[in-house]
Amino acid sequence: MVDAQHMRTVMEQYAAAVSAGDKEAVVSFYAPDGSCQVPVGGPVYQGIDAVRAFYEGNELAETLVLTGPVRVAGNEAAAPMVAQVCFDGVDYELDVVDVAVFNDDGLLTSLRAFYSLDDLRAV
């Protein structure tokens, strides 16, 4: 089983990579068979090529900041975050909870982002 501190560190590094706009770094956290669903309820992108295409084809948040401790149980981690996004020249914040599943090599096999655009608030 992967170390809990490793999972916490990856979630911190993931948020930093999103904030930096570094899509290659974001993709590097995924296992070859990993998947992402951003947001939950949307399409599931399965396999590293689909994950890469998702991140390359979408704008990342301007910033993604952890707002509390990353919680770890078993091989999963949940991270409360605030994303700052810009639509039509207006900046918004959005509360997000990312839930990640890790394999024994410490790579993401699944990342699901829980949020709703109904919760956008102008900043």
Residue 25 has pLDDT above 90, yes or no: yes
What pLDDT, on the 0 to 100 scale, is given for residue 60? 86
Q: What is the pLDDT of residues 61-108, one digit of tens each?
A: 999 999 999 999 999 999 999 999 998 899 999 999 999 999 999 999
What pLDDT, on the 0 to 100 scale, is given for residue 87? 87
**51: Cβ contacts below 8 Å, ≥ 6 apart:** 27, 30, 34, 35, 36, 45
Residue 45 has pLDDT above 90, yes or no: yes
Residue 1 has pLDDT above 90, yes or no: no
* pTM for this prediction: 0.95
* CATH code of domain 4-122: 3.10.450.50
